Amino acid sequence: MEEKFDKVKPQIIVEEWSGSSLNKLSLTAVISPSSSSSFTLKRHGNRFNIFSRRFIEAFVPEGFPSSVTPDYIPFQTWDLLQYLLHQALLSAIGVGEKSATVIGATFQWFLRDLTGMLGGVMFTFYQGSNLDSDAKMWRLVADLMNDLGMLMDLLSPLFPSAFVFIVCLGSLSRSFTGVASGATRAALTQHFALQNNAADISAKEGSQETVATMMGMALGMFLAHITMGHSTIIWFSFLSLTMFHMYANYKAVRCLNLTTLNCERSSILLLHFMETGRVLSPKEVSDLEHVLPLWISSWSSKRTKLLYARVRLGARVSSLDSLEMMELLSSAGSRYEKAKYMLLEKKGIISIVMHKDSTTGDVMQGFMHALVMANLVDDKPTSLHTDSQTWMDKHYEAFVLKLQSSGWKTERLLSSSIIWRANWSHGAPDKKIN
């Protein structure tokens, strides 16, 4: 490792930047070599600023304000104000009036609602950026959580001692449903809109759901009439309808042939292309990808599943160990001097360090390069970096063109937010970093 590093003059400076938007990145660390076998790490900023920025990102879209139109802020301001006034009006006319209930019951329902609200915020904080990339899975999970919430409500009267705990679990489940269902609905509506008619599609979907709701209410009243006083039949009806509901949702998401590229679809496409030279159609990929979480889908192709699971997009450079850091500094001055990403391999896991100025195309290329490297790891090549780069030079452009001709959208990779980025440059050894 030292001989390899000595070939590159100790002038490589790597900076770590944090932020989900390219327009609002902040410098968090600077790494520079102090000798041929060591480096210095200087941190910038503090943990509180990072946490506060991540906290704010849970309430505003990624890249805010440049990622939204100018009318977003006034619309949201007036919308929140009318919601506040609406709730105040309901309280004024007696809906939810605290004096109309026992103090203990009021606290119980307050705790239930509070749990749901906090659950929705936390779910958005941790999974908000994944809803676009895994829209099919989260659409199915949303309906499952909604059914679970209804089950909790039905079970709560049967266990008086655990009533509060059970209703809070139900509220928590429904809070996940609200966030995931709304977000995935927007993604799927955009997918359906071939003529920029997302609003029309959304409106018509509302009409369809209204008719379905009325029919469901009629069916519910009929079932309530014929099962009155028969608890066993009531539970059988509920569980049967719930199972059919989930089956219908499963079949619905299975019908979706999404043309956007996420981590799994990219993995399936690239692996098949490397083996056959042919690009699968959106319909063929839809039959192969998961619509359930990976830990549930044991029937899928293990090779395909492990390929994209081996890739870590947006690695944080200051969290690397000493050997990885020395390899990174060496790569910055040799293999990736002009590239907008760097790849590191350790125990079969490929970490991608994205450049501060990388574009969506660079993210796509970096992820595909990492998939190629992950696929070559088991073959134990003499030089993993060289062999994967050779494949990229020969086949990547042709692969992208075939993707486009097959109907795939190659403008960007749908993935989790890239919070950590880096910048590498050549500077004088005695240059002082502020």
Structure token digits, residue 228: 């009155």
- Per-residue pLDDT at 362 exceeds 70: yes
Residues 21, 27, 30, CA angle at the centre, nearest 5°?
Answer: 135
Residues 115, 139, 131, CA angle at the centre, nearest 5°?
Answer: 75
Structure token digits, residue 163: 């009533």
Residues of the chain with pLDDT > 70, as a percent, come to 73
- Per-residue pLDDT at 173 exceeds 50: yes
The size of the chain, in residues, is 434
- What local confidence, expressed as pLDDT, does residue 45 receive? 64
- What local confidence, expressed as pLDDT, does residue 392 receive? 92
- What local confidence, expressed as pLDDT, does residue 69 receive? 53
Q: In the predicted model, what is the mean pLDDT of residues 208-233?
A: 77
Q: In what order do the strands lie in the sheet with 349-354?
A: 311-313, 349-354, 341-346
> How far is Cα 405 from Cα 12, in angstroms, rounded to an integer?
41
First to last CA, the chain: 29
pLDDT band at 22 (very low <50, low <70, confident <90, very high): low
If one compares 81 and 39, the residue with the highest pLDDT of the two is 39
pLDDT tens figures, 314-327 = 888 888 888 888 88
Contact call for residues 273 and 288 (beta carbons, < 8 A): no
Mean pLDDT over each residue of the chain, to the nearest integer: 75
Long-range contacts of 324-327 (CB under 8 A, 24+ apart): 325/31, 325/39, 326/1, 326/5, 326/37, 326/39, 327/1
Residue 11, phi-psi category: left (phi > 0), alpha (psi -120 to 50), beta (remainder): alpha
If one compares 98 and 106, the residue with the highest pLDDT of the two is 106
Q: In the predicted model, what is the mean pLDDT of residues 380-386?
A: 78
Q: In the predicted model, what is the mean pLDDT of residues 93-98?
A: 44
HSE-up (13 A, CA, CB side) for residue 287 = 4
Query: Of the candidates 17, 117, 23, which has an alpha carbon nearest to the alpha carbon of residue 68?
Result: 23
Exposure pattern of 347-364 as b/e (b: 16+ CB <10 Å)?
eeebbbbbbbebeeeebb
Q: What is the pTM of this model?
A: 0.73
Residues of the chain with pLDDT > 90, as a percent, come to 15
Contact call for residues 343 and 307 (beta carbons, < 8 A): no
> How far is Cα 251 from Cα 279, in angstroms, rounded to an integer?
25
